[in-house]
Amino acid sequence: MTRFLPGILAMAAVVVASNILVQFLFGQWLTWGAFTYPLAFLVTDVMNRVYGPAAARRVVLAGFVTGVVCSLIGTQITGEFGPLVTLRIAIGSGLAFLLAQLTDVAIFDRLRAGRWWRAPLVSTLVGSSLDTIVFFSVAFAAGLAWIEPANDVAWANEILPILGLGPAAPLWMSLALADWMVKLGLSILALLPFRAIVTKLSPKVA
């Protein structure tokens, strides 16, 4: 268990940092958390490559528990528009993290015998896409208002051009698309540190 501790601590750090930075805007469509959260996939993939899928799942579970704790704390902190974390956001965040990360682990394991970059790239692309779809849908889609009827998310469903340029759609879709694009870009950039970290930790496996 001790050998997995760096991965667990790294995942916890990413989750805590992302939960804090998501409160701060970066431009019109993103928060700073969009740039730190994708590192969770890097941590998961490194653990998967070096120690195997069982170890990676342990790290994912640690990240999930950390996220739940952060959400519980957030529900007790009141911001300008109410609690920093609503029930829908808490459910969406936890569900998206768990589904996306476990999917990443499964896909990576299936592809681990291929070229070194194939498993981390494909698993992260699929996991990131799933994460974005699940989180934004659960947290903001009008059709899921029954999850938390008292939570008014009308602001997220305001009809506007997608990213200010495309066809009209609910605002949350623009936020989701911007978030997804950042994740795709970072999934490619993350291949470099993935290769370097895996080589250092386990040269024969890389």
Residues 123-144: pLDDT tens digits?
999 999 999 999 999 999 999 9
* Res. 201: pLDDT tops 50: yes
Please count the other Cβ atoms lying within 10 Å of the Cβ belonging to residue 55.
19
Q: What is the pLDDT of residues 19-48, one digit of tens each?
A: 889 888 898 999 999 999 999 999 999 999
CATH number, domain of 87, equals 1.10.1760.20
Q: What is the pLDDT of residue 206?
A: 43
Whether 206 is covered by a domain: the verdict is no
Structural tokens at position 174? 């623009």
Q: What are the tens digits of pLDDT across the range 58-116? A: 999 999 999 999 988 887 877 665 677 889 999 999 999 999 999 999 999 999 998 99
Query: What is the rounded CA–CA span in Å between residue 60 and residue 73?
Result: 20
Per-residue pLDDT tens for 5-26? 999 999 999 999 998 898 888 9
**CA distances for 51 relative to 30, 57, 102, 152, 158, angstroms:** 34, 11, 15, 44, 46
Structural domain including 106 reads 2-201
> What's the whole-model pTM score?
0.92
Number of domains observed in the structure of the chain: 1
